[in-house]
Amino acid sequence: MAKTVGKIIKDIKSLKIQGARNVAKAAIEAIAIQTKNSKARTLDSLYSELLVVSDKLAGARPTEPMVRNSIVDMTRFAMMQMNMKKPKSVKEVKKLMIEHQKELLKRMEKDAERLWDYGAKLIPKNAVVVTHCHSSSVTGMLKRAKKTGKKFTVIACETRPRYQGRKTAKELAAAGIDVTLIVDSAMNSFMRKADICLVGADSITSRGDLINKIGTSTLAHIAKMHDVSFYSAAELYKYSPLTIFGTREMIEERDTKEVWERHPKKVKVRNPAFDATAAIYIRGYITEIGVIPPQSLFALATEKLGIRIFK
Catalytic residues: 133, 202
**Plot region of 233 (φ>0 → left; ψ -120 to 50 → alpha; else → beta):** beta
The C-alpha atoms of residue 123 and residue 104 are separated, in whole angstroms, by 29
Report d(CA 297, CA 311) in Å as an integer: 21
Q: For 83, list phi and psi in degrees, rounded to 5.
A: -100, 10
- Quote helix, strand, coil % in the chain, to nearest 5: 55, 15, 30
CA distance 157 to 178: 14
Give me the DSSP letters along 254-307: --GGGT-TT--TT-----BSEEEE-GGG-SEEEETTEEE-HHHHHHHHHHHHT-
Q: What gap in Å lies between CA 272 and CA 253, rounded to an integer?
A: 4
From start to end of 173-271, where are the E strands?
178-182, 196-199, 203-204, 210-213, 229-233
State whether residue 232 is helix, strand or coil: strand
